[in-house]
Structure 1
Amino acid sequence: MPILLLLLLGTAVEITVLIAIGSVIGVLPTIALVVLATVIGVALLRREGTRTLMSFRDKVRSGQPPQAEMLDGVLISAAAVLIILPGFISDLLAIALLFPPTRRLIRNRIWRRVEARARRSAGEVFIIDAQP
């Protein structure tokens, strides 16, 4: 239920922002800005997705764990979903996720939360080692 409420609230905020900007600059410039933000987001999505995939491949080939690259892939996927949604706020969030320094900050925060949760439930942590 909270996710549905969050989606409804996000949709209402997106519509409100679109209407507010549309009333200030006009309908066609608003549509043009939404399309421009989407095009910029898709270009960043392709670039960052390719970089992350190549980095993932290099880490795997060198035998290092690709934890950061996997989490980057998840964040880039979330940005792809946000890019598809029309609106300024979702596009700005997506572009923030695609911007490497911002994504690194979010990735590090998520990783710290995962480590803290693992420490709290130390008896329930399973480590799977894929090396023979």
Structure 2
Amino acid sequence: MAVAFLLYVIAEVAAIWAVGSAVGVLGTIALLIAGAFVGSWLARREGGKAMRAFVTTAQSGRNPEKELTDGMLVAAGGVLIMVPGFVSDVLGLLFLLPPTRAVARRLWLRRAEKRAIRYANQRRGPAMVVDSEVVTPQEQPRQSTQPRVIEGRIVEG
């Protein structure tokens, strides 16, 4: 983690140095301030959209996982925009724009699912899904007279 932070700081300094060499000190400061203002406006706008989408989805009784993840990514993008630097501004902008946020959401949800499965497997052993029920090796699926389709996978940590 310390190496990643060090690389981030080096990238920020290099980006500010490059921009400063191209447009000068006052131009660099103006770009950083303009980026913060535009980014905060965009974060407020996208945050409001994410909140309205969450409320609408929650009121309809559907699972708001997409809307919650969008809200989290918008908040992270807003924080990154407010951190001084061009690299953080670009990363924050990627979290704020809907097309790139959709990509980040898919990656985040896939990662969260893998971590949840790994955590569950560590705590209670491998599990699989049987007719939308989670069945652990200690339990037996309920007996039924009708054939059932069993789908699922056992994921070892």
User: How would you bin the TM-score normalised by the shorter chain?
Assistant: 0.7 to 0.9
Matched, 1:29 2:33: no
Alignment counterpart, residue 17 of structure 2, candidates 19, 22, 45: 19
Q: Give the TM-score taking structure 1 as reference length.
A: 0.83
Gap regions ≥5 residues in structure 1: 128-132
Identity over aligned residues, as a percent? 40
Q: Give the TM-score taking structure 2 as reference length.
A: 0.71
Higher alpha-carbon deviation: 109-118 or 84-93? 109-118
- Greater relative contact order (Cα 8 A, min sep 6): structure 1 or 2? 1
The residue correspondences of 1:80-119 to structure 2 (distance < 5 A) are: 80-118=78-116
| C-alpha separation in 2, matches of 1:68 and 1:14 | 31
Matched, 1:123 2:139: no
| C-alpha separation in 2, matches of 1:67 and 1:33 | 35
Alignment counterpart, residue 77 of structure 1, candidates 71, 75, 78: 75
| C-alpha separation in 2, matches of 1:116 and 1:6 | 23
| C-alpha separation in 2, matches of 1:16 and 1:34 | 14
| C-alpha separation in 1, matches of 2:114 and 2:89 | 31
Q: Which runs of 4+ in 1 moved over 2 A?
A: 112-124
- Match of 1:123, as an amino acid? A
The structure that is helix-richer by fraction is 1
C-alpha RMSD over aligned residues: 2.2
